[in-house]
Structure 1
Amino acid sequence: MHENFQSASVDQPFRGCAGGADALTVPPVTPETSADTYDSHIRARVIDFFTLEGLPWPRRLWDVGSLLALEELLEASSWARHRVLSPASVDWQRHELLKAIGPDVGLGSRELRAQLTSLLKQPLPDPSPAHRRLREVVEHARGGYLDRWAAAAALPEGRRPQPERLARVIAAHLLDLGYDASYLATWIGQLAHRRASAEEVLQGAVALDRAAPHEFTVLVVLESAPEREQAQKHEMWLSGREVVDWLKQRGHPTSGVRAGGGFLYRMTARDPFSAASQAREFVERMVARSSFMRGNRGGIRPAAHMWVDQHPDPIPFVTPARGADVLSLVNEGHLYQVDGQRTLIDDALELAAPVNRGVLGPAVAGAWAAVESLLSHPDDPAEEQRSGKAVAADRLAAIIACSWPRAELTALAHRHQPSTPDALTEQLTACTTNRERASAVADALAAGKSLHLADRFRRDADIAAVHRMRRVVASPRGELATAVTIFRIGIRRLYRTRNIVLHGGSTQGVALKAALRIAAPLVGAGLDRITYAALAEGLTPLDLAARAEVGLKLVGGETGLSVVDLLEPRR
């Protein structure tokens, strides 16, 4: 988990300026502002991290928690024994994790940390004494993990964790436990409604951490159930009439429910949405099996909703898209332009299509295939610290990192809406491109000027974004290097997961769901930039990656390269 990093936005036409009583001036960032600002920053970011629909890629959560990362390393060592993962990839993972856990106060300050760092400094083959010891240490670290963070957050100002870091820890840990983002969004929304303090948010998170999973009953309705006599032999099967009766007994409306039958599953889960997610996986496995039927290719077809006993509302069967957005296809007018010569990017977009809504295995495999096809080359030199095609992940990380400040600064340009137009408003109104608007905001932040944020629904999250962007414009090389590290870890996790799926034949990896949740928006962001460069400049993906890698080395230096121009051709 890394602090001082995250962001938001997408390019869109400039809306001009507007005023109103909701406008809020954001003062220059100080090392630590008031308690209320600290608390609102944490609330806003946790809300971002649990938002599934409509959140642009720069505001999402891009890492797993330390405990899951340690479990992932243990699992990777086991796959290396089966030659599914290479020793080089596991060693890279281990070295990166050793650096990442350094500032994690949840892992203790003395004995626990000493044991962890000692073990991570050596190879961890499975089986080995070191591998077995690490597994034991992880279990010791699990107990009281969030309590230790809560104690750190209770320290006096100047000594407590950065709010961005703390929000990431809370969100990642709860998601890694198996809570569903929809359930957690309701939880943090209630706390935000009463403007809970950071201490109260942590107390709630600790309570969720300590709560044991319990049993839920989930009704899955099938609109089409071929080979019904086989379904009827299942002890959990309900006929169409029994489905309707079950719903009526619990007060659910049945109008529009087309029940060809259903299954009543009992699931052990953290929350109703997680229970429904488990039931959804069962049905997806049945649907996959039914696709191999002869003469009935329609197969099993689930209804639009599921129901969890004691939960008041139906839960959609179709999950929200995973946030892989390639907006350049629409913005550049190429959504329907498929009648010309097929390109490498066309192939990559087709390969990556399952990443938004496809089942886990094909989504992971397709996403990585797209990345590898665009950003690897037969002439890439072999390097000891890289394994296989991991160079493609590193190149994609550079492209994404270079696009981050521009996206965030553009969003802040749209949000600047003082009640009385100021010099920045006039400057933004005169701008004709989003690049010019982003540059104007970057210059204003570098000069210590204030922004006036009028959107009360996004205000706290935008204030947090201002803090992040001030750090980026003040120290672009260091902040972007941190960003590259985060993205590289996330995309390489996708690569490892793909190898486990395709070469190990398993979709049961401890971080499979997290890998896809994290990587999907990042892959979308990278494909978006690659597509735009190809359409606007005719630039190849490898050339764009080279531009990004050079830009990260030169930004803020003697060439005058700005954070908004990292992917632009030199003017």
Structure 2
Amino acid sequence: MQPANPEYAQHVLARLTDFCQVDGVLWTRRLWDIGSILTLEELWESVSWQSRKVISGSAIDWQRHQLARLLGPDLGMGDKALRREMVQLLDSDTLTDPSPGHRRLRELIDHARDGYLDRWADRVAEGAQVKPERLARTLAAHLLDLGYTAQFLGTQWLSGLRSKNTHTEAIIASAAGLARIPPRNFHVLLLLNSIPNRSSAENTPDWLNNSEVINWLKREGHSTSGVRAQGGFLYRISAQDHHGAADKARQLFERIVARSRFSRRYRGQVTASPTLWVSGHPEPLPLVGPARHADVLSLAHQGQLYDVARPRNPVDDALELASPVNQTGAPGTALAGAWAAIESLLCHPGDPIPAGERSGKAVAADRLAAIVACSWPRAELTTLVRRHGRKDEMDELSERRDVCTTSRAQALVLFDEITRNGVANLRFHGRTRHGDQVAAQRLAACVAEPKRVVGELTAAVRITLRRLYRARNIVLHGGSTSSVTLDATLRTAAPLLGAGLDRIAHAYFGEGLGPLELAARAELAKTLVGENTGLTLVDLLRKRGAAAA
């Protein structure tokens, strides 16, 4: 497909919609990556933590080698000279702190950041061949890394592009234009309903009393009907959009709550209004932020959601540890709990410790990556076969699907269809139709070359989950919750964590199979799929000879 092709632009917009939609998107279609510039910032930060014994040298080596492979073909990294300098530096072992290499990396990052998407726009305009999936991921990741929120990009930026039937070059130019806009200052009003130690609150510079709250709301054009508060804080916040300003205000409130829990007399009694008001935004925004979407749906499907009276098991413990991921506050706690869940399930005392590593715990990320990657084809097969067609427009594929009594049988119907005919006979409707169409194309590529695609999926998930491990180490061993990738790590890793825990819970409660055994099954499936073994994409995580399900 060429960038000038309208179908290409439609593909890019469909994937951007997946990446920038807050709710209603399957984990299989969410954005798992962060952008090139932020990955470089992450490496620079990791090297700084290495000197404080928080991140190991072997972890840095793995990180920079992966990054060198990712950045080599990146069109936004500039001309050959800049890209060559970057790759040479990443391929060297001179990145320590302090060192000339570390200082040189700082300068290269600053050069690469300035005009990053503009260079992408120039190269595409010159005729560079770029897969639409790669382009969409690049644009979405870079804008999200800059601080734009999915709410803004999905509801305002993309809706405008879709309404204009925009071509590819205009999409890139629009994204580059957003990237050039510096953060703006917003005022965000946080109202408190319960204020222990009120005098302390009133002495802070951001405090507004009741009458000042009402006057500010009126000046901003907001209704004051039903507003009942004991006062509040008006914060001046720098952000890329209104939703980003609200996110930062939520984090400030979480810090207040965290401090209040150390109060002896009024422990945890600070409460706030369920809404925030942001200057220039017509409607109040919820105090509770958007979900992180670590979903474990098999608990309900297998009747395990409320079955907690039996003795605890390792999966119970892991789910409890990981539960802060789906709470909107306390990112440090979420990171720590997420990794604790992964490590508790997928590490073993008998695991060998690779040369240069202190503990060998990173293998847990690799094992979970194999489980997640092997669950992707079955998840998409099931989704797409169920979304095919309409009830009033039955075709042969719909009829074959509707006589199936299990989800596996339905997935096999679509697998056989794609194997024989590709995606030519698939028909999708409704608001997800464009995303379904491009998902079907990705699935067809996986059917054609299963070993290659599953291997690539595993590598992508591994990078994200190892980032989770490093971020956790910075939180727990470095005592810092201000990592440059903390928010991005939770955004990208949470859906993958949910998908992995879902498959682990499904195997444990449904088959009695332990997490390490499931990981071994996934690792073997990656090797055997596509060979003359009879193993298909439908059954990568299924026990051989098991009853249909």
Report the TM range for the smaller structure's normalisation.
Answer: over 0.9
Match of 2:363 among 391, 396, 410: 391
Aligned residue number for residue 164 of structure 1: 133
1:275 aligns with 2:245: yes
SS in 1 for 2:315: helix
CA–CA distance in structure 1, aligned partners of residues 532 and 259 of structure 2:
61
Counting only pairs closer than 5 Å after superposition, residues 306-385 of structure 1 correspond to structure 2 as 306-357=276-327, 358-384=329-355
Q: What's the offset of the Cα at 1:293? A: 1.2
Q: What's the offset of the Cα at 1:497? A: 0.4
Q: What's the offset of the Cα at 1:155? A: 4.3
SS in 1 for 2:193: strand
Counting only pairs closer than 5 Å after superposition, residues 451-462 of structure 1 correspond to structure 2 as 451-462=425-436
For the 8 Å contact 1:493–1:515, the answer to whether it is kept is: yes
1:427 aligns with 2:417: no
What are the Cα deviations for residues 195-229 of structure 1, in whole angstroms up to 9, with x where unaligned?
22222211111111111112111111111111110
SS in 1 for 2:276: strand
Q: What's the offset of the Cα at 1:257? A: 2.4
Partner amino acid, structure 2, of 1:391: V
Higher relative contact order (Cα pairs below 8 Å, separated by 6+ residues): 1
Q: Which segment drifts farther, 235-244 or 91-100?
A: 235-244
For the 8 Å contact 1:56–1:323, the answer to whether it is kept is: no
SS in 2 for 1:217: strand
Flag structure 1 segments of 5+ consecutive residues without an equivalent. Answer: 1-30
Aligned residue number for residue 175 of structure 1: 144
Q: Normalised by the size of structure 2, how large is the TM-score?
A: 0.96
Match of 2:51 among 58, 81, 90: 81
1:444 aligns with 2:417: yes
SS in 2 for 1:251: coil
Aligned residue number for residue 97 of structure 2: 126
* Runs of 4+ more than 3 Å apart: 31-34
SS in 1 for 2:537: coil
Q: What's the offset of the Cα at 1:98? A: 0.8
Partner amino acid, structure 1, of 2:370: A
Match of 1:411 among 376, 383, 386: 383
Partner amino acid, structure 2, of 1:376: C
Q: Which segment drifts farther, 351-360 or 395-404?
A: 351-360
- Shift of the 104–386 alpha-carbon distance from structure 1 to 2, 3 Å rule, reads farther
1:514 aligns with 2:514: no
Partner amino acid, structure 2, of 1:166: L
Aligned residue number for residue 62 of structure 2: 92
For the 8 Å contact 1:244–1:259, the answer to whether it is kept is: no
Aligned residue number for residue 483 of structure 1: 457
Aligned residue number for residue 440 of structure 2: 466
- Shift of the 387–474 alpha-carbon distance from structure 1 to 2, 3 Å rule, reads farther
Aligned residue number for residue 86 of structure 2: 116
SS in 2 for 1:498: helix
1:45 aligns with 2:18: no
Q: What's the offset of the Cα at 1:258? A: 2.5
Q: Which segment drifts farther, 425-434 or 381-390?
A: 381-390
Partner amino acid, structure 2, of 1:492: R
CA–CA distance in structure 1, aligned partners of residues 26 and 162 of structure 2:
21
For the 8 Å contact 2:257–2:268, the answer to whether it is kept is: no
For the 8 Å contact 2:4–2:167, the answer to whether it is kept is: no
CA–CA distance in structure 2, aligned partners of residues 190 and 448 of structure 1:
36
CA–CA distance in structure 1, aligned partners of residues 111 and 43 of structure 2:
17
1:257 aligns with 2:230: no
SS in 2 for 1:223: strand
Q: What's the offset of the Cα at 1:256? A: 2.9
Q: What's the offset of the Cα at 1:455? A: 2.0
SS in 2 for 1:444: helix
1:61 aligns with 2:31: yes
SS in 2 for 1:341: coil
Q: What's the offset of the Cα at 1:397? A: 0.1
Aligned residue number for residue 545 of structure 1: 519
For the 8 Å contact 2:34–2:142, the answer to whether it is kept is: yes
- Shift of the 434–202 alpha-carbon distance from structure 1 to 2, 3 Å rule, reads same
Q: What's the offset of the Cα at 1:56? A: 1.6
CA–CA distance in structure 1, aligned partners of residues 96 and 291 of structure 2:
37
Q: What's the offset of the Cα at 1:303? A: 1.1
CA–CA distance in structure 1, aligned partners of residues 367 and 456 of structure 2:
15
Aligned residue number for residue 184 of structure 1: 153
Aligned residue number for residue 196 of structure 1: 166
For the 8 Å contact 2:51–2:96, the answer to whether it is kept is: yes
Match of 1:505 among 479, 486, 489: 479
Match of 1:146 among 99, 117, 126: 117
SS in 1 for 2:277: strand
CA–CA distance in structure 1, aligned partners of residues 538 and 79 of structure 2:
40
Partner amino acid, structure 1, of 2:85: Q
- Shift of the 529–385 alpha-carbon distance from structure 1 to 2, 3 Å rule, reads farther
What are the Cα deviations for residues 338-369 of structure 1, in whole angstroms up to 9, with x where unaligned?
00011000000000010011410100000000
Aligned residue number for residue 207 of structure 1: 177
Q: What's the offset of the Cα at 1:298? A: 3.8
What are the Cα deviations for residues 132-184 of structure 1, in whole angstroms up to 9, with x where unaligned?
1111111111122111211233244xx43111100000000001111122111
Match of 1:527 among 480, 493, 501: 501
Match of 2:531 among 532, 557, 563: 557
For the 8 Å contact 2:3–2:168, the answer to whether it is kept is: no
1:248 aligns with 2:222: no
Flag structure 2 segments of 5+ consecutive residues without an equivalent. Answer: none
For the 8 Å contact 2:380–2:443, the answer to whether it is kept is: yes
Aligned residue number for residue 24 of structure 1: none
Q: Which segment drifts farther, 476-485 or 214-223?
A: 214-223
CA–CA distance in structure 1, aligned partners of residues 125 and 539 of structure 2:
41
Q: What's the offset of the Cα at 1:387? A: 5.6
- Shift of the 420–272 alpha-carbon distance from structure 1 to 2, 3 Å rule, reads closer
Match of 1:295 among 256, 259, 265: 265
Q: Which segment drifts farther, 386-395 or 169-178?
A: 386-395
Q: What's the offset of the Cα at 1:439? A: 1.7
Q: Which segment drifts farther, 49-58 or 359-368?
A: 49-58
CA–CA distance in structure 2, aligned partners of residues 252 and 188 of structure 1:
27
For the 8 Å contact 2:292–2:495, the answer to whether it is kept is: yes
Count of matched residue pairs: 539
What are the Cα deviations for residues 518-561 of structure 1, in whole angstroms up to 9, with x where unaligned?
11111110000000001110000000000000000000101021
1:35 aligns with 2:5: yes
Partner amino acid, structure 2, of 1:414: R
For the 8 Å contact 2:3–2:124, the answer to whether it is kept is: no
Q: Which segment drifts farther, 488-497 or 250-259?
A: 250-259
Q: Which segment drifts farther, 428-437 or 513-522?
A: 428-437
SS in 1 for 2:389: coil
Q: What's the offset of the Cα at 1:129? A: 0.6
SS in 2 for 1:451: coil
Partner amino acid, structure 1, of 2:98: P
